[in-house]
């Protein structure tokens, strides 16, 4: 197992500078990480850096709260793809989900997927705010709406990924859907535990540390 091929090398801090994004992309190329994950304002810059490499570009949408309008999320996704994104990591509307507005949540995910075509859509559930039954529901809605991945966390909630949540998510999706674990994964041992529990991708800012062991 090559752990580097599981890693989305991530920099989403609000104070992230253009120089830091360039460094992130160079590290991803050097360590052969699967992707870099950046905020929308850096989509074009990151796309320029990784263009000649095998590293994919993932860009966040509706991040980190998930509470922007569906129209805004759709526009964000459109712009990110136009600027070179290969994947979109969107935060679902957590408040709507908890209020039982499942049709609205599903429609939003479907709308974003429809404008990005065959590119990968990851739906961030922010599991720290959800009960187990809400998590199961979020997984089912995401799958029904055509998303490719469900993802645990933004890294900005009250807690990150947990092995229990990965196992629950795994049980709640079909064979074609994948899981991204993110939030608090900072060493080799932890990363391996998540992969063994069913994570197909690891979102982390500690990628170098993880692969250097």
Q: pLDDT tens digit string along 122-156?
A: 999 999 999 999 999 999 999 999 999 999 999 99
The domain containing residue 123 runs over which residues? 3-212
Instruction: Please state the rounded mean pLDDT for residues 6-25.
Output: 98
Q: What is the mean pLDDT of residues 33-55?
A: 98
pLDDT higher than threshold 90 for residue 1? no
Looking at the structure of the chain, the number of domains it has is 1
pLDDT at site 213: 83
Q: Please state, for a pLDDT cut of 70, what percent of the chain lies above it.
A: 100
Instruction: Say which CATH number the domain at 88 has.
Output: 3.20.20.70
Q: Would you please indicate which residues are annotated as catalytic (active-site) residues? A: 89, 151, 180
Mean pLDDT (whole number) for 37-64: 98
Minimal CA–CA distance to 89: which of 55, 54, 64, 53? 64
- Alpha-carbon distance 135 to 129, whole Å? 9
Q: What is the pTM of this model?
A: 0.98
């Amino acid at each position: 197992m090559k752990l580097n091929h599981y890693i989305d090398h991530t920099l989403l801090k609000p104070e992230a500078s253009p120089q830091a994004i360039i460094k992130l992309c160079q590290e991803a190329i050097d360590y052969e990480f699967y992707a870099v994950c950046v905020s929308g304002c850096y989509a074009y810059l990151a796309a320029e850096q990784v263009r000649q490499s095998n590293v994919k570009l993932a860009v966040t949408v509706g991040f980190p709260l998930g509470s922007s309008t569906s129209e805004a999320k759709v526009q964000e996704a459109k712009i990110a793809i136009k600027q070179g994104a290969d994947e979109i990591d969107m935060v679902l509307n957590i408040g709507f989900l908890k209020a039982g507005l499942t049709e609205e949540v599903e429609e939003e995910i479907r709308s974003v997927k429809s404008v990005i075509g065959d590119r990968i859509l990851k739906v961030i559930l922010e599991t720290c705010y959800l009960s187990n039954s809400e998590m199961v529901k979020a997984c089912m809605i995401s799958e029904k709406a055509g998303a490719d991945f469900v993802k645990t966390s933004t890294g900005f909630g009250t807690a990150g990924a947990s092995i229990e949540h990965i196992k629950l998510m795994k049980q709640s999706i079909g064979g074609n859907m994948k899981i991204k674990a993110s939030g608090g994964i900072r060493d080799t041992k932890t990363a391996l535990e998540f992969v063994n529990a069913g994570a197909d991708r690891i979102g982390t800012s500690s990628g170098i540390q993880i692969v250097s062991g």
